[in-house]
Amino acid sequence: MGRNRTTWESRSTWNGGKTTLIRVPIVLKSDILAYARAVDSKLISDKSRIIPMLKGDFLQEFTLGLIERYIEFKRHNYHPNQNSRKLDTSTRAWDELRKFQKLVQESPELLRD
């Protein structure tokens, strides 16, 4: 016996509750889903920034924004030690993050499927 309905009950993986089906251009699908997941998980909460953030490559801007937020978080929660009084992101410990940041800025296509 086949289905006679086009919807079915299932557990949502979205924090926001019920979902709906929308039609979007295929080329925008991954960016729109990434943005929706970010909003749903509260990574983006300032709704006034929605329109400006969609200019250009959203995933690139989103990733660079997260890196900046992480650095600011570390700077705010930094505890001075005998080696330095303030956070220094030019040290060797930050090399990989700087490499990743540069890759996202200059060659994000290398990270795509």
pLDDT digits 0-9 by tens, 62-108: 888 889 999 999 988 888 887 788 888 888 999 999 999 999 888 88
List alpha helices for the chain, DSSP H: 29-40, 50-53, 58-76, 95-106
pLDDT at position 5 = 60
| 1-26 pLDDT per residue, tens | 565 666 555 566 788 888 888 898 88
Cβ atoms of residues 57 and 32 within 8 Å: no
* Domain range list for the chain: 26-111
User: 52: pLDDT confidence band, cut at 50, 70 and 90?
Assistant: very low
